[in-house]
Amino acid sequence: MSDSIVIKNATIINRTSQLVADVKIENGFVAEVGKNLKGDTLLDASGCIVSSGFVDLHAHLREPGKEEAETIETGSRAGALGGYTALVAMPNTDPPQDSVAVIDFVREQGKRAGLVDVVPSGCITLGRHGESLAPMAELAQAGVTLFTDDGNGVQDAALMRRALEYAKGLGVTLAQHCEVAELTKGAVMNECRCCTDLGLPGWPAIAEELMVFRDIELVRITGASMHFLHLSTKRSVELVRAGKRDGLPITAEVTPHHLSLTEELLSSYNPVFKVNPPLRSTSDIQALKAGLLDGTIDAIATDHAPHPRRDKEMSLDMAPPGMLGLETALGVVLAEGACEIRDIVALMSWNPAKIARIDKAHGCDVAVGNKANLCVFDPELTWSIDINRLASKSVNTPYLGRTLRGRVRHTIFNGLPTVIDGQAQR
Amino acid sequence: MKHLRSIDELGLDGLNKLLQLTDHMAEINQRPVPKVPALRGRTVASLFFEDSTRTRLSFETAAKRLSADTMTFNVSTSSVNKGESLRDTVATITDMGVDAFVVRHKSVGIPWQISAWTTASIINAGDGAHQHPTQALVDCYTIREATHAQNFAGMKVTIVGDIKHSRVARSNIQAFSMLGAKVTLVAPPTLLPPDISHWPVDVSHDLDEVLAESDVLYMLRLQSERMAQGHVPTLREYSEQYGLTQKRVMGLRSNAIVMHPGPMNRGVEMQIDPSDVKNSLIHRQVANGVSVRMAVLFELLGSGSNLGGQA
């Protein structure tokens, strides 16, 4: 029999209950919930929340291909520190995740690191080129449930329709990065007054909204289920809200940075603020927050996108888009104060686990017999980033110098602590 | 003043100060030996990642007339072609000991990024479609010289052409407005930024409508690739609508002045030879370029020493 761990005096947040108790973990499962529990390792959690571990629907782990920026191991560690127990790995690797061999490799590297469940997503189209379908059935047999060409939207409407039809037969979900490419050529930031002043080509909201609209209508005629990645505009939220009202099988996510940062930051000329879709306006942020509250948006996903320093030292137009997110997501979202803690657990754990179809092991209530994938966090603790102590291999965080609120204290993955008192254990 | 990167950063006081200093420099340039020792021992590096005739040569001439040493960085023969990053390039040149970088780059914001990597002063000689502050200084000085106006209150300046992609327009709109001019932009909507409601300008799509009202007609260059990008259907059509023709010159006020930052696209925005335009200041713009850039270099690098004496 393995050693037992007891989380002491935490406020347990479950779907229909909330109580202060101890949680005993044994053999990878929650063994007991109650008062004054004893065990081999005691983890203090006074004043903290214990919930199911977070699930990120959108992490770029960069392996294989760009290990200079991140590896599956370093990304997993960053995830564990952020309270995550599962990460959906985006497929824009090199080679891309469009073959069983690459999918298996990513999953195996995840197991080798052993810090979170690494859940590889598959490409919709071969090479993410938007020309022909990836072998979705083979990939589905290899366990892929979420398909996306993230970084690229599938531009060809007929091909997207085929992909949705094909996906329906396989019972898998397609996730779209909504961007009509003709409207965003050379785009660096949101099309706005600030972009006018800077003389930069703009990334207009309509480029996202047109594809959101198109895909909602394609879902309507195909009946396939569809997830919208990193929504960033007010109209996108309205379109998804209307689609859900019609009962369509659609879900949507928003990133912490689109909830907290605005377009004006680009006037610092610092490419750390360049991201795709771009940072938008305050009114977009308000609409996204409203979407979180009324259930239009199902999940908060990081779009964790590490880039090596030298890439982010290029000019605004040449630097690649993307920013770190895994280690700061909770602290950013709580600092924004957009929703209740219970909502945050739903948005960061329960709902994404369901969308990724890993809800047997993740996003489960903290209850006897359930897999012990747990996150313990202090919702009040304020902190700021120490760039020298990031677990990620890259440092392109936009939150330097900002005060974040809420920090992960312990993370339990498969019954074992990956993080204790904010320190990674492996 | 440490850097000159945008008109915004310079502000009205800085602008006036540099224009006054330019008068001194213009006087030096009138001398039989137009050279002073003011910046002896100082080194100015030109870092031009984009082609330039006027700006680059006038900066180099300005530096030499102030007795500064110059270093010219030629992108096509540099280690940039071996993949050296901009940061490493700047660090390398800084290590050799330079006091100022004169930077032109196709990318917006490069002068600000570079300032974080070097202790030298940065002079923006054009960053993408963003800013070209010394051109704005040249243009303000040239208008002042021609009109003898200390400020531009009540003056109507019309800027015609590709505002959207123009760093000259962005710097000039700020500078002319700061000095009190009323600026009108004339362009097809495709050559205007999508939202300029916050700019202190009027907008027209009809050049003939505003021609007779203008004290200054400022023509911008239209690059031929704008046609391929669908901003205008054909250069001929653009030229018809927005080019300076003989007929339009006739429609100008008798004392209205015509300007162009160069290089001109003859037959496109300039359908007429500028020498046929009575009040064209295009040659004055070039001539004043040296004096203005001397003023900028002296302001950033000078130690307040006097400008007199011979080198």
- pLDDT bracket for residue B305 (50, 70, 90): low
Q: From CA B270, how far away is CA B265, in angstroms rounded?
A: 6
A245 and A310 part of one domain: yes
Report CB contact under 8 Å: B109, A192: no
A325 and A379 part of one domain: no
Q: How far away is chain A from the Cα of B219, in angstroms, using its nearest Cα?
A: 19
Give me the mean pLDDT over the A268-272 stretch.
97
Q: From CA B78, how far away is CA B45, in angstroms rounded?
A: 14
ipTM for this model: 0.92
Spatial strand order of the sheet with A173-176 comes to A146-148, A173-176, A226-228, A250-254, A299-300
Residue B307 above 90 pLDDT?
A: no
Interface of A with B (CB under 8 A): 188, 191-193, 195-200, 202, 204, 268-270, 310, 313-318
B-chain residues within 8 Å CB-CB of A314?
85-86
A378 and A350 part of one domain: no
pLDDT at B226: 81
A337 and A232 part of one domain: yes
Residue A335 above 50 pLDDT?
A: yes
A9 and A61 part of one domain: no
User: Is the CB of residue A215 less than 8 Å from the CB of residue A249?
Assistant: no
Task: Pick the last residue of a domain from A355, A382, A408.
Answer: A355
B-chain residues within 8 Å CB-CB of A310?
85, 87
pLDDT at B72: 87
Q: How far away is chain A from the Cα of B231, in angstroms, using its nearest Cα?
A: 13
Task: Report the top-level CATH class of B7-131+287-301.
Answer: alpha beta
Q: A280 has which bridge partners?
A: A262
A185 and A305 part of one domain: yes
Give me the mean pLDDT over the B204-226 stretch.
93
Identified catalytic residue from A149, A215, A284, A303: A303
Domains B7-131+287-301 and B133-284 in one fold: yes
A420 lies in a domain? yes
Q: From CA B96, how far away is CA B78, in angstroms rounded?
A: 15
| Residue B310, number of CB atoms within 10 A of its CB | 9
Report CB contact under 8 Å: A191, B194: yes
The shortest CB-CB distance from A317 to any of B108, B131, B195 is to B108
Report CB contact under 8 Å: A316, B107: yes
Write out the DSSP string of A139-190: HHHTT--EEE-TTS----HHHHHHHHHHHHHHT-EEEE----GGG-TT--EE
A150 lies in a domain? yes
Name the amino acid, one letter, at A356: A
Q: From CA B300, how far away is CA B304, in angstroms rounded?
A: 10
Q: How far away is chain A from the Cα of B85, in angstroms, using its nearest Cα?
A: 8
The shortest CB-CB distance from A313 to any of B87, B170, B196 is to B87
The tally of domains found in chain A comes to 2
Q: What is the tens place of the pLDDT at every residue in B235-290?
A: 999 999 999 999 999 999 999 999 999 898 888 999 888 788 888 999 999 999 99
Report CB contact under 8 Å: A313, B167: no
Q: Which residue of A has its CA nearest to B86?
A: A314
User: Is the CB of residue A207 less than 8 Å from the CB of residue A235?
Assistant: no
C-alpha distances out from residue A372 to A25, A117, B151, Å: 7, 13, 74
Q: Which residue of A has its CA nearest to B162?
A: A199
A330 and A389 part of one domain: no
Give me the mean pLDDT over the A255-266 stretch.
98
Is A98 one of the catalytic residues?
A: no
Strand stretches in A215-296, DSSP E = 226-228, 250-254
A362 lies in a domain? no
A116 and A233 part of one domain: yes
Q: From CA A3, how far away is CA A406, in angstroms rounded?
A: 29
A263 and A388 part of one domain: no
Find tokens 């809800």 and name the residue: A359
Judge residue B151's burial from the number of C-beta atoms within 10 Å of its C-beta, 0-12 exposed, 13-18 middle, 19 or more buried.
Answer: middle
Range of the domain at A403: 5-49+369-424
What are A290's two structure tokens?
């409203």
Q: What is the tens place of the pLDDT at every residue in B154-175?
A: 999 999 999 999 999 999 999 9
CA angle B118, B124, B130 (to 5 degrees): 120
A363 lies in a domain? no
Interface residue B307 vs chain A (CB under 8 A): no
What are B27's two structure tokens?
């006087």
Interface residue B180 vs chain A (CB under 8 A): no
C-alpha distances out from residue A134 to A99, A121, A223, A330, Å: 8, 12, 20, 34
User: Is the CB of residue B121 less than 8 Å from the CB of residue B98?
Assistant: no
Report CB contact under 8 Å: B165, A199: yes
Query: For chain B, what is the mean pLDDT?
Result: 93
The shortest CB-CB distance from A315 to any of B110, B196, B197 is to B110
**Would you list the domain boundaries of chain B?**
7-131+287-301, 133-284
A212 and A246 part of one domain: yes
Instruction: Find the helix packing angle between A100-113 and A72-81, rounded to 10°.
Output: 50
What are A192's two structure tokens?
């706005």
Judge residue B255's burial from the number of C-beta atoms within 10 Å of its C-beta, 0-12 exposed, 13-18 middle, 19 or more buried.
Answer: exposed
Residue B150 above 50 pLDDT?
A: yes
What are A23's two structure tokens?
């949680």
A275 and A420 part of one domain: no
Find tokens 């017999």 and name the residue: A369
Q: What CATH number corresponds to the domain at position A114?
A: 3.20.20.140
Task: Pick the last residue of a domain from A295, A325, A355.
Answer: A355
The shortest CB-CB distance from B108 to any of A192, A202, A316 is to A316
The shortest CB-CB distance from A196 to any of B106, B113, B196 is to B196
A360 lies in a domain? no
A-chain residues within 8 Å CB-CB of B109?
198, 269, 315-316
Interface residue B130 vs chain A (CB under 8 A): yes
Report CB contact under 8 Å: B86, A314: yes
* Side-chain-side CA neighbours of residue A56 (13 Å): 35
Percent of chain A with pLDDT over 90: 98
Find out whether the peptide bond into A95 is cis, omega within 30 degrees of 0.
yes
- CATH code of the domain occupying B133-284: 3.40.50.1370
A381 lies in a domain? yes
Q: From CA A263, how far away is CA B215, in angstroms rounded?
A: 37
Residue B83 above 80 pLDDT?
A: no
Q: What is the tens place of the pLDDT at every residue in A176-231?
A: 999 999 999 999 999 999 999 999 999 999 999 999 999 999 999 999 999 999 99
A332 and A265 part of one domain: yes
Strand stretches in B88-161, DSSP E = 100-105, 121-127, 156-160
Closest CA to B47 of B1, B7, B106: B106
A364 lies in a domain? no
Find out whether the peptide bond into B188 is cis, omega within 30 degrees of 0.
no
pLDDT at B311: 47
The shortest CB-CB distance from B130 to any of A199, A204, A313 is to A199
What are B211's two structure tokens?
């021609």
Give me the mean pLDDT over the A360-384 stretch.
98
3-state helix, strand, coil in chain B (%, to 5): 45, 15, 40
Q: How far away is chain A from the Cα of B93, in angstroms, using its nearest Cα?
A: 17
Give me the mean pLDDT over the A74-92 stretch.
98
Question: How many Cβ contacts (< 8 angstroms) between chains A and B?
Answer: 62
Backbone angles phi, psi at B222, to 5 degrees: -105, 115
C-alpha distances out from residue A263 to A131, A183, B47, B286, Å: 33, 18, 30, 38
A269 lies in a domain? yes
Give me the mean pLDDT over the B143-164 stretch.
95
Percent of chain B with pLDDT over 70: 97
Task: Pick the last residue of a domain from A355, A379, A396.
Answer: A355
Query: For chain A, what is the mean pLDDT?
Result: 97
- pLDDT bracket for residue B105 (50, 70, 90): very high
